[in-house]
Amino acid sequence: MKRTKHLKKILTLCFLMASVHAGAQWREDFSSGLHFWQGDTAFFACTERGLESRGPAEASDIGLGRVFYREGLSEDSAFCIEFALDLGFVPSSTNTLRLYLAASADTSADAASALYLHLGEKGSANYWQLWERTPDTLRRLWQGNTLFSKQSQMKMRVRAVFDTGGVWRLLHAPGVSNTARWEQDGEALQGDAFGWGWNDRFQPAYVGMQCAYKTVSRATMYNFPYVYAGRVPEEVPEEEGGAWLSEADSLAALIPSFGGVVLNEVMFDPATGESRYVELFNRTDTSFGIRNWVLGIPQEEGWKYYKLTDDTAVLEAGAYMVWAKEARKVALLASACRENIFTAKTFPTLDNKEGYLRLLWMPPKGDSLHRDTVLIDEILYSERSHHWLLNDTKGVALERLRAEVSGLLPENWMSAAETSGFATPGCGNSHTYPATQEGQEDYFAFSPPLVTPNNDGQNDFTVLTWDDRLDGFVCSIAVYDERGRKMRQLCNKMLLGTGGSLRYDAVDDSGRVLRAGIYAVLVELLRPDGKIKRLRYVLAVG
């Protein structure tokens, strides 16, 4: 059956996506448009420089906001909100900039509660100021020490860090190319001292910017190369001239074992008008700067390498990152986490039938310590790895089934599920086969985990049990086959008590016995506080 017949239905089914909250961490360079932003989207444009204002030709106040869920990060981790700025003017009392660290709505002026950085005072005596807005008050909490009064200073990066001690710190660095050290601006501020410990306010919060001008020429002079919200990135060295590490530190400390980073998904034969891409997955608890990472493909004269980025991008622990020929054209109708998709500096031409692909680290220019490349991962991909029932595999991505198993094995690859739009770029794969459940809370258990429904009295059914931790939860459970088709709805919005069980006879909704294979059991839990938790388990039918 052609995949295009089911795409509208597919997009309504999101169970097969990873349970990590998409809003927990993101980096936006605006290469994929403003899909995740709210506010005055008509008055901004996404260009090669990033986000540029396109305000009305009269005095205006325009802004954008994007959701950031603090709850997606561990409670003991520091996090930051970071902006790169390239202003074409020096702010003043009539032409100002606000950077929202948290707001109760998008960054329009009527957000009832907000915490924001403000730049723009009378004349050209500009200091960064931290302001708090509540429904009843507006007060300045803090002012930095650095005077910003020259046009040459209007290219900078600004980072507000909320550390593990509940303290806010403001840092800035000149320029937007990540080549300068961060410098702290003014004293740190104890968040609890003014009731801003983050978690005691709103979830989610909106991060964004607000551009207000009365001088008409300023309408197009606000530029934001990127915005970041998430864990504080690990600093990585520049190829030349960057002084983020001392000579004694050297680059040796930045060449760990990359064994836990894998090529996790590949789109080598995209649909018409869409882009080829590869996905990286970091299954370790270490974050890696990827400035010197390259993709390699074999050619008659030897291997040819393509550098992913010149930026100091970081592949966070447990995160996914997609690199494409054109980020904005990646799997347009798929279940994608677009905040994790980027346009590569250079990208190889992947054969649309089969190919050999390598991911490597290459020594930076001028590095006298390391002259050899480091192989991170390598894969063989082929159209023969697609599911045999798919008549049309154009626009279908291959997903890696087990990250810990070699990507050179054809049996370790599977077509992305139909319910995910045949691709999951930047998100957890629609298949993990056999899926690992390590690290997932064991709220449910199957006994036995393998069902043989042949009426011989042995393992003809399984019993799904849960414990009293789920007392008061509302639960929905469904069974899906390896192509993402729903086979059986075991329960729908069932209120759970202190423990219980369900019997399942390995049949579909029409009562037919399931074919032998691996099935995904997807559980959605609605907690009494209104929050949703999604879990995924595996059931084998023999």
First to last CA, the chain: 26
Question: Could you tell me which residue, 243 or 230, shows the higher pLDDT?
Answer: 230
Residues 6+ away with beta carbon under 8 Å from 283: 260, 261, 262, 318, 403, 404
Question: Could you tell me which residue, 241 or 400, shows the higher pLDDT?
Answer: 400
Residues 6+ away with beta carbon under 8 Å from 530: none
Domain 247-420 has CATH 2.60.40.1260: yes
The residues pairing with 102 across neighbouring beta strands, listed in sequence order, are: 115
What percentage of residues in the chain have a pLDDT greater than 90?
Answer: 29
Question: Could you tell me which residue, 75 or 329, shows the higher pLDDT?
Answer: 329
Range scoring the smallest mean pLDDT among 111-115, 339-343, 483-487: 483-487
Reported as type and span, the H/E element at residue 296 is strand 293-299
pLDDT, tens only, 453-466? 888 888 889 998 88
Q: Which of 81-95, 392-406, 457-471 is the most confident on average?
A: 81-95
* Range 356-382 average pLDDT: 73
State the pLDDT at residue 99: 95
Give the separation between CA 2 and CA 232, rounded to whole angstroms: 44
Report long-range pairs for 166-174 (Cβ below 8 Å, ≥24 apart): 166/190, 166/191, 166/192, 166/197, 167/191, 168/130, 168/142, 168/196, 170/117, 170/128, 170/130, 170/142, 170/144, 172/128, 172/146
State the pLDDT at residue 17: 29
* Range 112-131 average pLDDT: 86
pLDDT at 96 over 90: yes
Beta-strand pair 205-213/95-103: antiparallel
Which structure tokens are listed for 88?
A: 């074409």
Give the separation between CA 240 and CA 236, rounded to whole angstroms: 12
Give the separation between CA 24 and CA 337, rounded to whole angstroms: 12
pLDDT, tens only, 159-214? 998 876 677 888 888 888 766 778 888 777 765 444 444 444 455 678 999 999 99
Give the separation between CA 175 and CA 226, rounded to whole angstroms: 12
Assessment of whether the complete model's pTM goes beyond 0.85: no
State the pLDDT at residue 248: 28
* Range 474-487 average pLDDT: 82
User: What is the three-class DSSP state of 17?
Assistant: coil
The answer to whether 26 touches 229, Cβ cutoff 8 Å, is: yes
Q: What radius of gyration do the chain's Cα atoms show?
A: 25
| 250 residue type, one letter | S
* Average per-residue pLDDT for the chain: 79
Give the separation between CA 414 and CA 402, rounded to whole angstroms: 10
Work out the pLDDT band at 18, boundaries 50, 70, 90.
very low
pLDDT at 518 over 70: yes
Question: Could you tell me which residue, 6 or 127, shows the higher pLDDT?
Answer: 127
Reported as type and span, the H/E element at residue 365 is none
Q: Please, what CATH class does the domain formed by 26-231 belong to?
A: mainly beta
pLDDT at 256 over 50: no
* Range 212-238 average pLDDT: 83
| Half-sphere exposure for 56 (CA within 13 Å, toward CB) | 9
Q: Can you give the length of the chain in residues?
A: 542
pLDDT at 146 over 50: yes
Strand order of the β-sheet with 462-466 is: 444-447, 462-466, 500-504
* Range 383-403 average pLDDT: 86
What percentage of residues in the chain have a pLDDT greater than 70?
Answer: 80
- Same CATH fold, 444-541 and 247-420? yes
444-541 fold:
Immunoglobulin-like (2.60.40)
Give the separation between CA 295 and CA 278, rounded to whole angstroms: 9
Nearest C-alpha neighbor of 418 from the set 483, 331, 334: 483
* Range 139-166 average pLDDT: 86
DSSP string, 48-79: TTEEEE---SSSEEEEEEEEE-GGGS-TT--E
| 95 residue type, one letter | N
Q: Could you state, in order of their start, the residue ranges of all structural domains in the chain?
A: 26-231, 247-420, 444-541
Dihedral in degrees, nearest 10, Cα atoms 461, 466, 467, 470: -160
The residues pairing with 190 across neighbouring beta strands, listed in sequence order, are: 167
pLDDT, tens only, 409-455? 887 888 888 888 899 999 988 876 444 444 445 788 888 888 888 88
The answer to whether 315 touches 233, Cβ cutoff 8 Å, is: no
Q: What is the DSSP letter of 345?
A: S
For the chain, helix (H) and strand (E) counts, in that order, are 1, 37
Range scoring the smallest mean pLDDT among 46-60, 206-220, 282-296, 347-361: 282-296
State the pLDDT at residue 79: 82
* Range 528-542 average pLDDT: 77
pLDDT at 115 over 80: yes
Please report, for residues 44, 151, 275, 357, 431, the alpha-carbon distance to residue 382 in angstroms, rounded to integers and kept in the order given: 41, 54, 18, 11, 17
* Range 251-271 average pLDDT: 73
pLDDT at 238 over 50: no
* Range 124-141 average pLDDT: 84
User: What is the three-class DSSP state of 153?
Assistant: helix
